[in-house]
Amino acid sequence: MLGAEKGPRGLRVLPPAGLSICRCSILRCCCLLLLLAGCCVAPPPAAKFFDRKTPLDALKGFVYAVDARQWDYGYESLTESSKCEIGRFRFAAAVRWAKDPVFHEVYVYDIISDAITRRGPTELSSGGASATIRVTPKARGPDGRAIYFELDLAFRLEEGEWLLDFLETVNAMQRELERGAGDISSR
């Protein structure tokens, strides 16, 4: 039962017996609520921080968009021919759940996420309208051993922006598979 007492500033309500509330605990609760509210904020939009002026800039924006689950920006980072082949929904589903056709243990998402940290220099074509960036994803073999392989990501310059040529990248993967490309860990 709540009690009341008269003080210098008027009537003050007392908490029930056995329950003491101090200002310090109220302050802690408020701080905890503010901290939790800050954790629920969505990441900033990729378009705000990334442009597509170089193939590397396009790759960084694409990787950020995929990591932040901003599928629209990721999809807009594809060439027109790639967009014609794969719709927005299929793109998001493929990036989330598809596995690499060569090493079935690694997801496409992991290849994309690791593309920034394990990449080579940008190689421009002689005409300057296309480029490749070689990335080295890591997978686990059946025996648990780490396996590294190389993958060339293809980019095209379209309307002043560098875009990921998803179709050419997949074709390059298939050519590598036919050529017998595989584990480069022993190189």
CB 99 within 8 A of CB 108: yes
Q: Where are the domains of the chain?
A: 3-39, 46-179
User: Quick one: CATH architecture of 46-179?
Assistant: Roll (3.10)
Query: Does residue 86 contact residue 94 with C-beta atoms inside 8 Å?
Result: yes
pLDDT tens digits, 7-39: 566 666 555 555 555 555 666 766 666 665 555
Cα of 164 vs its chain's centroid, Å: 15
Strand partners, 156: 130, 163
pLDDT at 174: 76
pTM: 0.70
Q: Which residues contact 16 (CB under 8 A, 6 or more apart)?
A: 1, 2
In this prediction, residue 4 carries a pLDDT of 55
CA distance 56 to 66: 15
CA distances from 181 to 100, 107, 152, 154 (A): 13, 18, 12, 18
Structure tokens at 187: 């190189």
Neighbours of 121 (CB within 10 A): 9
The answer to whether 133 and 163 are in contact (CB under 8 A) is no
Share the mean pLDDT of the chain: 78
pLDDT at 64: 92
**Regions of the chain with pLDDT less than 70:** 1-27, 29-41, 100-105, 141-142, 177, 180-187
